[in-house]
Structure 1
């Protein structure tokens, strides 16, 4: 569900305040390091797909790799291609917190929320 204009403005304001107050934390949270594993998996999936295509073609061309009229290298190549496509497609599906699945993501999310609330309270108590 998209945010309303008011909610979007509040979110932008909170983000600006976070950058102003703690730029190191803000850059860590927003940094590209969270996107690297997804990009790496996508590249690995594409590479697997290319290797699978090569195996598929080699398996059809080289009759010595056939066993009982079945091109085993081609079948294996197809499976590698399929795995590569699945890996590439699933790399960007879940954010980092949901990638663990189940309750682990919920616990880390709630502990993060608790830490942020505690920091928020400390700011007002220190003033």
Structure 2
């Protein structure tokens, strides 16, 4: 199970890194023209960039604390924060009818729930 949790953490970190880089570095006008980025048209540049930074921090927080054994409790805390982020993403995509993206966000949410459950519980790094 520990290996499955590491794999889930790695997959979710890759998703967070990809989303964070795109929201932080790609101009909002270009993001809003891409499939899945339409929601950015109604959001401020600062909000989009802030989400991107949060996603970059999540990518780091899902793996690095455990790898370096510095505050490994941050891994499940980061996963719990990702759950909140995915609920927001699901609501946002649902409002504009992007139900395929809602389903994709549900998969990301499930991975985060799995990581939070495992790392807060039976496979925590403290035990």
Query: TM-score range, shorter-chain basis?
Result: 0.3 to 0.5
| Bigger relative contact order, structure 1 or 2 (CA pairs below 8 A, ≥6 apart) | 2
TM-score normalised by structure 1 residue count: 0.39
TM-score normalised by structure 2 residue count: 0.39
